């Protein structure tokens, strides 16, 4: 099959946009031409000639010669307007905007079907790892049971620095911002929101389920305290921000984003710096593991490049799992074993939310519990205790409440100098 020529209209010329521009000029065999680049600020100095730029979106959207729009801007609502209009005008679209796609997934799916043009977004999830294409193609007939992974390079960089170099959370975050891995407002990354958007995309292609962002529980690393880090280091563990989804036996799916303790020998233990790692558990091919850089201009640009290459062969997502999938409901009764630290002094109040408490510690300043709690009750508890920090120890698909014998200590345990281990 002969490759078709792509005439590209590019929206956005930040780190990823410039990275794509450079990568395309190093791959002449791709048969692509960037005809115009739409940017927001006319006064900003740029590394290529001013003749390449326009400041009017219609210069690209109304140009009949442009058959592909690449969207790489920050504003998700403006991005949705651009992508929607491009699809309506019969132009294929490549986007790296996970927030925009996650918040408007059904609308974008309907537009693709109505106007018979593709929207590809490999760059929106895990940058250099071709996970969406693999879920679409390789796992078409292999039933997935779970998907788990580090999907946010910024938080992984921060957590790596806190463990490898003993930096404080604040120092590691500032370094991530200086290196361009985190935004000046890092909340999307550090609160687990970015990871939630990516998990939403993975759910559609892994399990054929379209969910809304508010249906996925997310808890980030922004509330980690010294006690949490000390606990991990004393146990020889690392903390990673992990997105997970499990298919349950009762036609339901459980999904969440949480910091997680990982131990030596776990597949995610050595995934450091800005790297991402995805683990799939499958009926036929068992466990498989994907690793690659998850942040940075060139890893993201490489994913955009891969989508452009696919478009030269008229590739589009068929959403095979959506078409063949059984209807699964979201189940928040999944039981988690967690480490929860807090300054909350009413320890017995915290205990009532747990099915079983295995360990507790309290000093005059802070304390923690280790125990089993349902995802639903965990969501309720963190609303009650705003300063709580939660770290996953283990998720237990299929573990029912009645399997747990309640063990509640009503009196807090006080230790002055060291942690209980």
Catalytic residue numbers read 198
Q: What is the dihedral of CA 74, 77, 78, 80, to 10 degrees?
A: 100
Structure tokens that stand for 300 in this block? 């993201």
Instruction: Indicate the pairing of strand 92-95 with strand 217-218.
Output: unpaired
* Phi-psi category of residue 382: left, alpha or beta, with phi > 0 → left and psi -120 to 50 → alpha: alpha
Terminal Cα distance for the chain, rounded: 63
Q: How far from 393 is each of 2, 263, 281, 337, CA to CA, in Å?
A: 51, 10, 19, 5
Q: How many CA atoms lie within 13 A of 19 on its CB side?
A: 17
**CA pair distance 345, 21, nearest whole angstrom:** 56
Q: Which tokens in the block code for residue 259?
A: 């910091």
From CA 343, how far away is CA 160, in angstroms rounded?
A: 26
């Amino acid at each position: 099959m002969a490759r078709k020529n792509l005439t590209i209209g590019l929206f956005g010329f930040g780190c990823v946009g410039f990275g794509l521009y450079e990568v395309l000029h190093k791959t002449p065999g791709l048969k692509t031409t960037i005809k115009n680049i739409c940017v927001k600020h006319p006064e900003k100095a740029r590394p290529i000639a001013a003749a390449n730029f326009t400041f009017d979106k219609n210069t690209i959207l109304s140009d009949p010669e442009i058959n592909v729009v690449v969207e790489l801007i920050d504003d998700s609502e403006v991005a949705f307007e651009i992508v929607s209009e491009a699809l309506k005008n019969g132009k294929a679209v490549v986007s790296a905007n996970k927030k925009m796609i996650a918040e408007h997934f059904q609308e974008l799916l309907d537009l693709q079907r109505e106007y018979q043009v593709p929207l590809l977004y490999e760059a929106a999830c895990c940058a250099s790892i071709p996970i969406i294409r693999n879920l679409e193609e390789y796992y078409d007939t292999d039933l997935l049971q779970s998907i788990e992974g580090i999907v946010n390079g910024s938080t992984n960089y921060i957590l790596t620095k806190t463990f490898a170099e003993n930096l404080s959370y604040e120092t590691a975050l500032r370094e991530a911002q200086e290196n361009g891995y985190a935004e000046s407002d890092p909340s999307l990354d550090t609160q687990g929101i970015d990871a939630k958007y990516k998990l939403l995309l993975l759910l559609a292609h892994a399990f054929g389920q379209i969910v809304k962002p508010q249906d996925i529980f997310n808890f980030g690393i922004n509330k980690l305290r010294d006690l949490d880090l000390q606990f991990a280091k004393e146990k020889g563990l690392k903390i990673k921000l992990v997105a997970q989804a499990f298919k349950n036996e009762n036609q339901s799916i459980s999904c969440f984003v949480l910091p997680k303790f990982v131990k030596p020998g776990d597949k995610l233990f050595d995934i450091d710096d800005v790297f991402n790692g995805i683990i799939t558990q499958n009926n036929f091919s068992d466990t498989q593991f994907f690793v690659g850089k998850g942040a940075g201009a060139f890893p993201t640009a490489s994913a955009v490049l891969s989508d452009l290459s696919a478009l030269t062969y008229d590739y589009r997502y068929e959403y095979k799992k959506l078409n063949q999938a059984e209807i699964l409901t979201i189940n928040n009764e999944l039981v988690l074993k967690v480490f929860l630290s807090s300054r909350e002094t009413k320890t017995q109040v915290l205990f009532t939310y747990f099915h079983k408490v295995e360990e507790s510690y309290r000093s005059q300043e802070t304390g923690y519990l280790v125990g089993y709690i349902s995802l639903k009750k965990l969501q309720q508890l963190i609303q009650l205790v705003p300063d709580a920090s939660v770290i996953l120890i283990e998720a237990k698909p299929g573990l029912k409440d009645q399997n747990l014998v309640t063990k509640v200590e009503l009196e807090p345990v006080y230790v002055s100098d060291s942690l209980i281990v």
